[in-house]
Amino acid sequence: MSKYCVVVADGARARLFSLKEAAIGEGGPDLVEVSDLANCEVEAAGKDIYSDVKSGRNAAPAGGGAHGYDDHRDRHINESERRFARQIAAETAKAVTQQKSGCLVVAADPHMLGYLREAMSANVGGITVREVVKDLTKLAPQELHEYLAADHMLPARQPAL
């Protein structure tokens, strides 16, 4: 059982952590990675998704001037991130239930945090949710723990006796 569940996410990756108490004399608590999710749609190269890698310009037939167009790539990317946020919310709900967590800490860039709020509103009711508006996906577990403890989101790690 862990009182804290931590989610760090951006549009391409999400990591779920649990705060585990260490054995007596070993210090702690320690932030342990429980799950690592990847958004395959975002990681795919542009040529794998679109027929034309560049967006916005096209040459006219018979040597005429180029003209612009909008192929709505931003909308596709946003929808992909929304779907990924729903996947993260489902995994988070499972982790919170299994660990019987009382506090969820969510750290994400502002864009993704909005999608996560929307997706998690129905999935994680009844627990305290704390938010950090910053992309922390690339931090190692110990660095993440130190950052969140300094921000008073998690209890600080105690040195070993």
Measured distance CA(147)–CA(34) in Å, rounded = 19
Predicted local confidence at residue 40, as pLDDT: 86
pTM listed for this prediction: 0.78
| Antiparallel, parallel or unpaired: β 13-20 and 4-9 | antiparallel
The percent helix, strand, coil of the chain (3-state, each to 5) is 35, 25, 35
Predicted local confidence at residue 54, as pLDDT: 54
Predicted local confidence at residue 150, as pLDDT: 95
Predicted local confidence at residue 5, as pLDDT: 93
The dihedrals phi and psi of 158, each to the nearest 5 degrees, come to: -95, 140
Predicted local confidence at residue 55, as pLDDT: 53
Q: Residue ranges of the domains in the chain?
A: 1-13+68-103+119-161
Predicted local confidence at residue 65, as pLDDT: 62
**Cis geometry, peptide bond prior to residue 29 (ω within 30 degrees of 0):** yes
The dihedrals phi and psi of 141, each to the nearest 5 degrees, come to: -55, -45
In tens digits, the chain (161 residues) has pLDDT values of: 568 999 999 999 999 999 887 665 566 788 999 999 999 877 554 555 555 555 555 555 666 666 565 556 678 788 999 999 999 999 999 999 898 888 999 999 999 999 999 998 866 677 889 999 999 999 999 999 999 999 999 998 887 66
